[in-house]
């Protein structure tokens, strides 16, 4: 990996030198020999004046090739398009795969979208308008319309001839979809099937008629799960009339999985992990809402501790273990939350029934709580030479962990049932809630045993 990075840096230095010295032929040949991803990284490293030179050397189609690899929600994407001639930018978008172009357009103001679409080929613009119509987090929103369809009555030889002419316009040709006159999906054939079968064979005789599909309305996470389950490279997408309207490719699914993981982690952390702004004020504005909310919830814990002021006055030793009880319970709740969110992410799997889940989490909490409680009981007993105090701390630890474990599992499930993102039940929220319940449990148990260890 380090060797590749070093090679890329040397190549980028040579490219930059050729671009600066206006050695256009040298630059063009070296640049086009690079992988599209490396082209994009070099392009993004340039300043506006250098990019203007690049636009003069490369045509829109060549720029569109590496634009397919750039993140569509890149903050400066709009500025990159605006610095180009409008016709150049429109041609660039037109040369990209439809799903990638649509992803970029959805982040732009409507007047700019219309301006680019009006300069495109009418058929291509129409396809993009259809894609922009779908919800961005559905199969329709992430699918591409760059795929190849054939009629089932064709022969393998005829199909291969068509593929040779149309392959350049398709995002993937590994799957060839067979449709009838109404564009309804009737079967699928892999490229391997075509290569190993005699040219005179009818496609209908070798196609797979039972095709796994997604609806345009399916959530993107469900589509990603289906592709992962079946180990597909692409998944056909049909509309309400079962007409083939697009395909979702594995590269789009990788982005979905990445986005879902980031969203879950953002929820667990209580902050948008995609926000990597260096602006302190902007970063603070993103983090403050959760912190302020949790501050008020934390005040409930402080008020509860204040309620037991007399108990603390009578047995000040109890104050030593408050943070130990709350911290351990909070950690247990966060662990349980992470597992619960992960479990809910696999919507295609059979979920355990609520009663079974509650019993399972109570038992898990009890096992972890008892072992942790027994450990702290022995530590405190030998440390303070007071096993009654150790028993009090141990019982409180066991109960607090059990309750935190149960809350960490049930709260995400409840939010999922109500239609909210379960990841919103963030780690900081569960931790703060665990603090409140742990303090209540701790002092309630201490009140019962106070005369035993005093």
- pLDDT, tens digit, 9 for 90 and up, residues 13-24: 899 999 999 999
Sheet containing strand 149-151, strands side by side: 149-151, 175-179, 185-190
Candidate CATH numbers 3.30.465.10, 1.10.10.410, 1.10.357.20, 3.90.1200.10; the one for domain 280-453: 1.10.357.20
CA distance 307 to 304: 5
| CA neighbours closer than 13 Å in the CB half-sphere of residue 64 | 18
Sheet containing strand 214-215, strands side by side: 214-215, 234-238, 244-249
Within the chain, all domains assigned CATH 1.10.357.20 are found at 280-453
pLDDT at 139 over 50: yes
Mean pLDDT of 169-195: 91
Residue range 2-137, CATH number: 1.25.60.10
pLDDT at 351 over 70: no
* Residue 359 or residue 193, greater confidence: 193
| CA neighbours closer than 13 Å in the CB half-sphere of residue 51 | 19
3-state class of 151 per DSSP? strand
Output the DSSP codes for 176-239: EEEE-TT-BEEEEEEHHHHHHS-TTSBHHHHSB-S---EETTSBHHHHHHHHHHHT-SEEEEE-
Q: How many helices and strands, by DSSP H and E, does the chain display?
A: 22, 6
Q: How much is the CA Rg of the chain, to the nearest whole Å?
A: 30
User: Among 71-85, 147-161, 346-360, 361-375, which stretch is predicted with the lowest mean pLDDT?
Assistant: 346-360
Candidate CATH numbers 3.30.450.20, 3.40.50.2300, 3.10.580.10, 3.40.50.720; the one for domain 149-250: 3.10.580.10
Measured at the CA of 405, the angle between CA 400 and CA 408, to 5 degrees, comes to: 120
What H or E segment, with its residue span, contains residue 155? none
Within the chain, all domains assigned CATH 1.25.60.10 are found at 2-137
Alpha helices in 237-279 (DSSP H): 250-269
Q: Could you tell me which of 121, 63, 65 has the C-alpha nearest to residue 94?
A: 121
* Residue 380: strand pairing partners: none
In the structure, what pLDDT confidence band is assigned to residue 66 with cuts at 50, 70 and 90?
very high
In the structure, what pLDDT confidence band is assigned to residue 169 with cuts at 50, 70 and 90?
confident
CA distance 211 to 216: 15
In the structure, what pLDDT confidence band is assigned to residue 1 with cuts at 50, 70 and 90?
very low
């Amino acid at each position: 990996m380090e060797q590749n990075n070093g090679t890329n840096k040397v190549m980028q230095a040579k490219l930059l030198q050729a671009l600066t010295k206006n050695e256009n032929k040298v630059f063009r040949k070296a640049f086009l020999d690079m992988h599209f991803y490396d082209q994009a990284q070099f392009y993004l490293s340039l300043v506006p004046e250098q990019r203007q030179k690049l636009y003069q050397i490369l045509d829109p189609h060549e720029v569109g090739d590496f634009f397919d690899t750039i993140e569509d929600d890149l903050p400066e994407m709009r500025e990159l398009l605006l610095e180009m001639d409008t016709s150049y930018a429109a041609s660039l978008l037109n040369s990209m795969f439809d799903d990638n172009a649509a992803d970029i357009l959805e982040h732009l103001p409507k007047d700019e979208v219309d301006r680019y679409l009006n300069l495109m080929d009418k058929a291509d613009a129409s396809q993009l308008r259809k894609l922009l119509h779908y919800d961005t987090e559905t199969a329709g929103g992430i699918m591409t319309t760059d795929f190849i369809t054939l009629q089932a009555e064709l022969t393998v030889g005829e199909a291969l001839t068509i593929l040779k002419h149309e392959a350049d316009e398709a995002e993937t040709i590994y799957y060839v979809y067979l449709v009838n006159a109404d564009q309804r999906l009737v079967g699928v054939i892999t490229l391997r099937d075509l290569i190993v079968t005699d040219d005179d064979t009818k496609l209908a005789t070798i196609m797979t008629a039972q095709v796994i599909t997604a609806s345009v309305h399916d959530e993107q996470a469900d589509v990603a799960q289906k592709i992962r389950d079946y180990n597909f490279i692409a998944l056909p997408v049909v509309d309400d009339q079962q007409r083939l309207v697009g395909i979702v490719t594995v590269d789009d699914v990788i982005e979905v999985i990445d986005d879902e993981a980031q969203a879950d982690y953002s929820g667990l952390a209580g902050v948008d992990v995609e926000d990597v702004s260096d602006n302190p004020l902007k970063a603070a504005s993103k983090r403050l809402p959760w912190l302020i909310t949790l501050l008020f919830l934390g005040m409930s814990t402080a008020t509860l501790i204040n309620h037991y002021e007399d108990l603390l006055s009578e047995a000040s030793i109890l104050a030593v273990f408050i943070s130990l009880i709350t911290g351990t319970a909070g950690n247990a709740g966060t662990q349980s939350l992470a597992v619960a969110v992960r479990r809910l992410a696999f919507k295609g799997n059979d979920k355990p029934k609520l009663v079974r889940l509650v019993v399972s989490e109570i038992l898990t909490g009890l096992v972890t709580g008892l072992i942790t409680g027994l450990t702290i009981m022995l530590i405190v007993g030998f440390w303070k030479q007071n096993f009654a105090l150790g028993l009090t701390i141990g019982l409180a630890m066991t109960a607090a962990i059990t309750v935190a474990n149960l809350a960490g599992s049930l709260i995400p499930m409840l939010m999922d049932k109500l239609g909210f993102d379960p990841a919103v039940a963030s780690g900081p929220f569960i931790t703060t809630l665990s603090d409140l319940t742990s303090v209540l449990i701790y002092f309630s148990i201490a009140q019962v045993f106070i005369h035993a260890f005093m």
